[in-house]
């Protein structure tokens, strides 16, 4: 059963930048009813302009109460959800010389807990759509290829994405009997405002539009693991299952020499 061959009611978080923006433009152009969430109201309004089926839902996903209110608004406006794409996130890199738990908490707030808050609001709406027409709704979230393999300086970002991937794969098992599918999205390097800040090589980096195409195709096929570009992500997955000693050896080759003015923000999705 395909997921996007006819107009759907979709909630997309992180809709105004990078992959989320490319996804929003693609889904709206395809005629779906899309609830667009992000923090910047002006950008949301500009994105929704010209699309009758766009619904602007300003939101900071790290604010649990705000996400609950957004869920109530979605229920009133849409009645239910056929698809939820939880895409909001951020990235900061950790300098182990100056161990910073505040940094880790800042990254986990949107990447992991923000996704959980959105799930809390989305699941009742996915169940409602299922009950309305007997369809099989889909929950999807953007993790990262870094969830496959520990990387230097990615302690906070990679851990938040690995936690998200594990949570969703576990949730997938428990939701199956309810008739709700779960897809996990693992992008490699994608050109976005986050990755533009990276200070290291990004092999096989693709455009946000290419990422959106891969995601839409994967969602339509209800793929469990949507990862791309596959030449890169298959290599990272392979490295992730190597024995720890070999993983350590490969990881040490990627360690960047410490610098006083080292950039600490960026990402890979």
Catalytic residues: 157
Contacts of 30 (CB under 8 A, 6+ apart): 4, 216
Contacts of 189 (CB under 8 A, 6+ apart): 195, 202, 203, 204, 205, 206, 232, 268
Taking alpha carbons only, the member of 22, 18, 142, 8 closest to residue 82 is 8
DSSP H/E element including 116: helix 115-133
> Residue 39 half-sphere exposure, CB side, CA atoms within 13 Å?
9
Contacts of 229 (CB under 8 A, 6+ apart): 188, 204, 206, 210, 214
d(CA 107, CA 11): 22
Tokens 């009742």 belong to residue: 124
d(CA 96, CA 99): 5
Lookup: tokens for 84 = 């939820």
The 3-state DSSP class for residue 208 equals helix
For helices 155-175 and 101-108, the axis angle rounded to 10 degrees is 40
């Amino acid at each position: 059963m395909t997921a996007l061959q006819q107009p759907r009611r979709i909630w997309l978080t992180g809709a105004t930048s990078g992959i989320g923006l490319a996804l929003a433009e693609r889904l709206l152009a395809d005629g779906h009813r899309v609830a667009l969430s992000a923090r910047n109201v002006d950008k949301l309004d500009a994105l929704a302009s010209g699309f009758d089926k766009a619904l602007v839902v300003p939101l900071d996903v790290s604010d649990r109460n705000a996400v609950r209110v957004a869920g109530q608004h979605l229920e009133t406006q849409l009645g239910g959800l056929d698809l939820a794409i939880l895409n909001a996130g951020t990235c900061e890199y950790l300098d182990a010389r100056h161990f910073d738990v505040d940094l880790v908490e800042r990254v986990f707030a949107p990447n992991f807990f923000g996704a959980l808050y959105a799930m809390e609001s989305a699941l009742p709406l996915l169940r409602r759509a299922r009950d309305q027409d007997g369809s099989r709704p889909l929950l999807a979230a953007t993790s990262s290829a870094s969830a496959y393999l520990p990387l230097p300086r990615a302690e906070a970002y990679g851990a938040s994405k690995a936690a998200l991937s594990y949570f969703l794969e576990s949730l997938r098992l428990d939701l199956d009997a309810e008739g709700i599918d779960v897809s996990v999205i693992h992008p490699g390097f994608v050109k976005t405002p986050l990755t533009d800040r990276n200070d290291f090589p990004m092999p096989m980096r693709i455009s946000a539009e290419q990422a959106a195409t891969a995601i839409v195709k994967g969602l339509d096929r209800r793929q469990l693991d949507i990862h791309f570009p596959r030449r890169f992500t298959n290599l990272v997955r392979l490295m992730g299952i190597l024995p720890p000693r070999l993983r350590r050896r490969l990881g040490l080759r990627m360690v960047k020499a410490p610098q006083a003015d080292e950039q600490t923000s960026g990402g890979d999705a």
